[in-house]
Amino acid sequence: MNIIGYITDIFKGVISLLKGMKVTGSYFFRPWTVVTQKYPENRKKLEMYERMKGEIVMPHNAKNEHKCTGCGICELNCPNGSIEIITFQLVSEDGKKKRAIDKHIYRIGMCTFCGLCVKTCPSKALSFAPNFEHAVFSRERLTKILNKEGSVLEKGVEG
């Protein structure tokens, strides 16, 4: 390596350092700009953004109905098996068989919040909620049944 290449590399390094320090320095001279939210002190006015991946939920309408058809694609795409779907067959009045969902079990303690279940759901039945506080004393409280709004898995029923 010659001396000109060495000096050029040093000059490029200094330029790169100054570009990075420009971002940091801009926040230093603008203290009114909030960069970090001070959690848990500001728990009442905490802002959660739309793209936050919190707990997976199944939205229900006013009649307590959801869009899930029980196809099982979210269960197949879950990399660690935190979703389990239990279905059964219904026979309608005209004799057609239809699949109905019995339980859509979601284990938050196993979930990696990758979002594959939400992305691949053909009926758009799953979405992310901004809930992120999941500290509990028993693991059973981290297992939820999504097709029954606001429910926690009953004791004795584990899948």
- pTM > 0.85: no
Is the CB of residue 70 less than 8 Å from the CB of residue 47? no
Calculate the average pLDDT of the chain: 85
pLDDT tens, position by position, 80-108 = 999 999 998 888 888 888 888 889 999 99
For residue 10, give the H/E element and its range: helix 3-28
How sure is the predictor about 34, in pLDDT bands with cuts at 50, 70 and 90? low
DSSP state of 150: T
Three-class SS state of 77 = helix
Q: What tokens does 153 get?
A: 């898995």
Is the pLDDT at 149 greater than 70? The verdict is no
| Residue 138 CB contacts under 8 Å (≥ 6 apart), including other chains | none
Annotate 106-139 with b (16+ C-beta within 10 A) or e (fewer). Answer: bbbeebeeeeebbeebeeebbebeeeeeeeeeee
